[in-house]
Amino acid sequence: MNFSLRAITSFLLCIGVAGAASAADIKLGLAAAMSGSAAQYGESIKNGFTLAAEQINAKGGINGNKIVLIVEDEQGKKEEAINVFKKLIFQDKVLMLFGPTLSNSAFAADPIAVQAKTVVFATSNTAIGITDMGTYVFRNSVMELDVLPHTVRAAVKRFGIKKVAVIYGNDDAFTKSGYDVFKQVLADQKIPVLTTEAYARGDIDFKAQLTKIKATNPDAVVCSCLAEEAANIMIQSRGLGLRVPFIGGNGFNSPKLFEISKQAANDTIMGSPWSSADKSPANVAFMAAYEKKYKKSANQFAAQGYDALYTVAEALKKLKLTGNIETDRQALQTELPKVQLTGATGKFKFRRAAPKAGKQGGYDADQAAVVNIAQGGKFVVLK
């Protein structure tokens, strides 16, 4: 027993030594949900990052140095995100880290990075207040607050909408925060809300809420939901004879919406920073490379991960790394806000978050949104 334990320990040590990065490697951490119910996003995010890292390294890396991506599974849970952040920052000594997948986890784990003066760069946290946590917090995920006013205005113009009903998931930080923004936007644009219905994560039957919505006779249904839930909501609406258009946010931006709902999603209006219908060269190249490598179509989470690594690579090119991790982390924090690039999600730059209560904030995305409409089983840009 004793012997075998020792054998295992020395074996593990060997792996550890063999896996250690050489001097010329730049270690970047990625905390993503690879298991648990948020894994569907975590997988796409990891794929986007891996693709970008391979491309950058294949072209000779950054000033000759290779990027080494250390991916850790934070399971979409706050506690795990904290553990993973600690491991990446203090044990693996990464230069900076990406993630976590959910806004919920970010509120728990980001303070650790801020305290350790390490850049944390989110690609999928859209909740309000993420970047208020400190100057080391960055994100390229666009806040719903910046996107939804355009979306609602475009939908009203297209369908002549006068009154709406709302449905949202009330126990999820993402859909709840999306709902809060929708509520504000609808009030700002003076569109009456006939009824507001909620559902809980894991629900599969929405007919009770939809029957109630149908009875109020709305012109459209505003839906702050994830794509898979939204798809089922649409199918069940059509089944109940509710045939009005749906309006949604970032959560709708997934091929899953159509894989599940098929034609039921037609006429859905969705605003998002990335669109598969965007034919810019950078996006076309990204989508083709992604499909070739993973045999499935890219989504917004992959695109934002992909762009995030290119954004950091851009900053790293201008840095002279000293090998002293604290100095280098500080230097990256100074350089990163200056980056501007045109990636898969279009023109991108950072915008300083407004200071809150005298405390300096981090950096949000400054990016235009695309409003799309679903036609014939896919999103096309709404003109």
Partner 1 sequence: MFEQQLLNALSLGSVYALFALGFTLIFGVLGVINLSHGAVFMLGSYIALTLVTRFELSLGVATVLAMAGAGLAGLLIDFLVLRPLRARNAPHLMPMIATIGITIILTNVVQGISGAEILRFPQGIVPEESFDFSLPWQGADSEPLHVTALQLLIVLISFALMGLLLATMRRTQLGRALRAIAESPKAAYLLGINVEGLFLLTSFVAAALGGVAGVLIGLSFNAITPFMGQSVLHKGIAVIILGGMGDIRGAMIGGLFLGLAEVMSVAYLSSDFRDAVSFGLLFLILLIRPAGLFGSVLERKA
The reply on whether position 19 binds partner 1 by CB under 8 A is no
Q: Which is nearer to partner 1, 171 or 326 (CB)?
A: 171
Least separation in angstroms between CB 310 and partner 1: 25
Question: From edge to edge, which strands make up the β-sheet containing 66-73?
Answer: 66-73, 25-32, 96-98, 120-122, 137-139, 363-366, 346-352, 340-343
Q: Which residues between 207 and 266 bind partner 1 (CB under 8 A)?
A: 207-209, 211-212, 214-215, 228, 231-232, 235, 239-241, 256, 259-262
Among 19, 64, 160, 202, binds partner 1 (CB under 8 A): 202
The reply on whether position 39 binds partner 1 by CB under 8 A is yes
Q: Which is nearer to partner 1, 235 or 277 (CB)?
A: 235
Alpha carbon 348 to its chain's center? 15
Read off the tokens for 144.
């719903």
| Dihedral over alpha carbons 155, 156, 159, 162 (to 10 degrees) | 140
Least separation in angstroms between CB 196 and partner 1: 8
The reply on whether position 280 binds partner 1 by CB under 8 A is no
Q: Which residues between 50 and 69 bind partner 1 (CB under 8 A)?
A: none
Least separation in angstroms between CB 208 and partner 1: 4
Q: Which is nearer to partner 1, 201 or 351 (CB)?
A: 201
The reply on whether position 170 binds partner 1 by CB under 8 A is yes
Least separation in angstroms between CB 331 and partner 1: 37
The reply on whether position 83 binds partner 1 by CB under 8 A is no
Residue that the structure tokens 């200056």 belong to: 338
Number of residues that bind partner 1 (CB under 8 A): 36
The reply on whether position 204 binds partner 1 by CB under 8 A is yes
Kindly indicate which of the ranges 199-207, 343-351, 354-362, 368-376 contains the residues binding partner 1, using the contact rule CB under 8 A.
Answer: 199-207
Among 9, 37, 327, 334, binds partner 1 (CB under 8 A): 37
**Residues forming the site for partner 1 (CB under 8 A):** 35-37, 39-40, 42-43, 170, 197-205, 207-209, 211-212, 214-215, 228, 231-232, 235, 239-241, 256, 259-262
